[in-house]
């Protein structure tokens, strides 16, 4: 029904091989389905509720999945921010409404299910926070031990709390995320742990359902543009891959312009697009308040560059100030609470609109990837503290004056 294929040289591998990169050329793998042999139709999907598993025919898991009811996230019309920008069709798909508060849950329900089907006994990842929170929760649900490596001092409080509480073995390394990923990859290969970062082709299968859902939420219509914050570049690649499959099945006849947004202090993908580079140049010291996308050497860059270029999309960088201003605007003008990395997608659209680089009539879906409560410290730093008063009405009235 499916096989693993190298995105670079096309070498193929059987689905039961525990492999993350091509033995021949070292590039990443992807899952390729025999689409002609799949019994699937829009009607069949429409009879199921909106969730990752609505699309199970296009997912690699064959048995009962390890699930916490992921997906089915809201698509909000950003009427107020859209009005300010002259964009009447601006939407946010709120992935922070997943079980652990980020889009990673879509990947982990598939990844941990595959770990079980493949007989793996321990799962592992490196993380800027959300991957570890999600993996820890799904590993707990699947009763599989879990090891996570975090860059010391650079992970938002809520995310560390989740990984600890769900029972992962949490190790902080004195180095950045890119180094942690290198280390955990080596650990998994040498010790036989199952690696569940986005180098794992099965995990990304779950994430492609963001695009499927967005189209279904528009009654089958394809938005003109999908905008995603880019860190390790797995999510934008996954969404694009899924949409290509829908196109091959004849369910859609065009693709949205895939648009990637990075933080100004961590923008290797933006540079590769702007300078038309074939191969991305990593950044050795990425820095941004949006710690989730503080990644200098995105492992999925090759896939992401194809996604952006093949759809006529673009990439742009936003400053930390622009990210935080949009985090506040989403919270205060739309009632939508997101973490800084997530606000980057909408901040990017604000920038592109102000520069006149997008058509104002476009229907745009910004994926907002993680919940506000993930990073309470950054929230509190931006807000006035509560006013403490004596417990009587006159103090209350004078405080409100």
Ligand X SMILES: N[C@@H](CCOP(=O)(O)O)C(=O)O
Ligand Y SMILES: Cc1ncc(COP(=O)(O)O)c(C=O)c1O
Task: By CB under 6 A, tell whether 197 contacts ligand X.
Answer: yes
Q: Would you say the C-alpha torsion 322, 316, 134, 128 has a positive or negative sign?
A: negative
Here the tokens at position 2 are: 């499916």
Residue reference for tokens 């592992």: 124
Does 232 participate in binding ligand X (rule CB under 6 A)? yes
Q: Is 337 near ligand Y (CB under 6 A)? A: no
127 interface partner picked from ligand Y, ligand X, none, CB below 5 to 8 A per type: ligand X
Q: What is the DSSP string of 104-157?
A: HHHHHHHHHHHHHHTT---EEEE-SSHHHHHHHHHHHHTT--EEEEEETT-S-H
Euclidean distance between CA atoms 195 and 154, whole angstroms: 21
Q: Would you say 256 or 298 has its CB closer to ligand X?
A: 298
The rounded distance, in Å, linking the Cα atoms of 105 and 117 is 18
Establish if 113 lies at the interface with ligand X (CB under 6 A): no
Among residues 223 and 370, whose Cβ is nearest to ligand Y? 370
Q: Which residues of 175-193 are buried (b: 16+ CB within 10 A; e: fewer)?
A: ebbbbbbeebbebbeeeeb
User: Comparing C-alpha atoms, which of 315, 244, 243 is closest to residue 276?
Assistant: 315
Min CB(362)–ligand Y separation in Å: 22
Scan residues 71-100 and list those touching ligand X (CB under 6 A). Answer: none
Indicate which single residue of 231, 260, 265, 340 sits in contact with ligand X (rule: CB under 6 A). Answer: 231
Write down the least CB distance from residue 198 to ligand Y, Å.
Answer: 6
Q: How many C-beta atoms surround the C-beta of residue 134 within 10 A?
A: 34
- Residue 183-222 contact track with ligand Y, rule CB under 6 A, x = bound: ---------------x------------------------
Instruction: Give the binding range for ligand X (CB under 6 A) out of 115-123, 125-133, 272-280, 282-290.
Output: 125-133
With CB under 6 A as the contact rule, the residue among 100, 162, 198, 262 that binds ligand X is 198
CA distances from 348 to 281, 293, 301 (A): 22, 14, 19
Enumerate the β-bridge partners of residue 195: 124
The Cα 11–Cα 157 span in angstroms is 42
Does 314 bind ligand X (CB under 6 A)? Our answer is no
Question: CB of residue 69 vs ligand Y: minimum separation in angstroms?
Answer: 20
Report 293-312 residues binding ligand Y (CB under 6 A): 293
Q: Which stretch binds ligand X (CB under 6 A): 25-33, 82-90, 231-239, 321-329?
A: 231-239
Q: Is residue 151 a contact point for ligand Y (CB under 6 A)?
A: no
Q: Footprint of ligand X on this chain (CB under 6 A)? A: 104, 125, 127-131, 197-198, 231-232, 234, 292
């Amino acid at each position: 029904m499916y096989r693993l294929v190298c995105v670079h040289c096309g070498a193929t591998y059987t689905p039961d091989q525990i492999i993350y990169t091509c033995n021949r050329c070292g590039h990443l793998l992807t899952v390729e389905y025999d689409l002609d042999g799949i019994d699937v139709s829009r009607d069949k999907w429409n009879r199921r509720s909106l969730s990752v598993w609505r699309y199970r025919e296009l997912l690699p898991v064959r048995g009962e999945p390890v699930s916490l009811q992921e997906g089915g996230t809201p698509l909000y019309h950003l009427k107020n921010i859209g009005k300010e920008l002259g964009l009447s069709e601006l939407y946010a798909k709120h992935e922070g409404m997943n079980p652990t508060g980020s889009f990673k849950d879509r990947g982990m329900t598939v990844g941990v299910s595959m770990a079980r089907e493949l007989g793996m006994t321990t799962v592992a990842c490196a993380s800027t926070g959300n991957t570890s929170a999600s993996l820890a929760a799904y590993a707990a649900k699947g009763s599989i031990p879990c090891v996570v490596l975090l860059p010391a001092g650079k992970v938002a409080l809520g995310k560390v709390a989740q990984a600890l509480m769900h029972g992962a073995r949490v190790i902080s390394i004195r180095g950045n995320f890119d180094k942690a990923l290198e280390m955990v990859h080596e650990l998994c290969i040498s010790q036989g742990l199952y690696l569940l970062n986005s180098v794992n082709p099965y995990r990304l299968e779950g994430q492609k359902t963001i695009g499927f859902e967005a189209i279904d939420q528009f009654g089958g219509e394809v938005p003109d543009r999908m905008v995603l914050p880019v860190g390790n570049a797995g999510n934008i690649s996954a969404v694009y891959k899924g949409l290509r499959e829908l196109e091959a099945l004849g369910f859609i006849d065009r693709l949205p312009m895939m648009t990637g947004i990075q933080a100004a202090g961590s923008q290797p993908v933006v540079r590769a697009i702007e300078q038309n580079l074939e191969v991305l140049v990593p950044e050795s010291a990425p820095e941004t308040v949006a710690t989730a996308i503080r990644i200098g050497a995105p492992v999925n860059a090759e896939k992401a560059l194809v996604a952006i270029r093949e759809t006529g999309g673009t990439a742009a960088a936003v400053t930390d100030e622009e990210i935080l201003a949009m985090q506040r605007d989403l919270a205060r003008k739309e009632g939508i609470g997101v973490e800084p990395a997530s606000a980057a997608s909408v901040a990017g659209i604000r920038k592109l609109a102000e520069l006149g680089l997008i058509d104002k009539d476009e229907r745009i879906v910004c994926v907002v990837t993680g919940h506000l409560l993930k990073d309470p410290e950054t929230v509190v730093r931006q807000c006035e503290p509560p006013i403490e008063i004596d417990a009587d009405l006159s103090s209350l009235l004078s405080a409100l004056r």
